[in-house]
Amino acid sequence: MQCDDLLNYLSDYIDNDLDEALSAEARAHLATCPNCKVVLDTTMQTIALTRDREKRVIPAARRQQLFDQLQDAFLNQPDKTM
């Protein structure tokens, strides 16, 4: 397996969706190619960070304050229909 091949199969490799023969080729390539190993590790870290990211919630009082500021700015904008 070459680097281009691994990149084409990377998502399926990570998801364990490759047949055993391709998985074995990918593992063999990763064992000898530090560049592809970095790509795999970085991709897996990105996936983990995205999964683990907590949903941010704006407190109700702050959300209302922001909404009020936006509404005030919208209602008080200069009339541009001239």
Contact 41, 31 (CB under 8 A): no
pLDDT at 80: 58
Q: How many domains does the chain have?
A: 1
- The burial of 1, by beta-carbon neighbours within 10 Å (0-12 exposed, 13-18 middle, 19 or more buried), is given as middle
pLDDT greater than 80 at residue 77: no
pLDDT greater than 80 at residue 82: no
**Average pLDDT of the residues in 20-44:** 95
CA–CA distance, 25 with 15 (Å, rounded to integer): 16
The residue range of the domain holding 42 is 3-75
pLDDT at 60: 92
pLDDT at 55: 67
User: Residue 7 is encoded by which pair of tokens?
Assistant: 């990149």
60: in domain: yes
> Taking the model in full, what pTM does it have?
0.61
70: in domain: yes
Contact 5, 12 (CB under 8 A): no
58: in domain: yes
Write the CA distances from 23 to 4, 14, 26, 30, integer angstroms: 15, 10, 5, 10
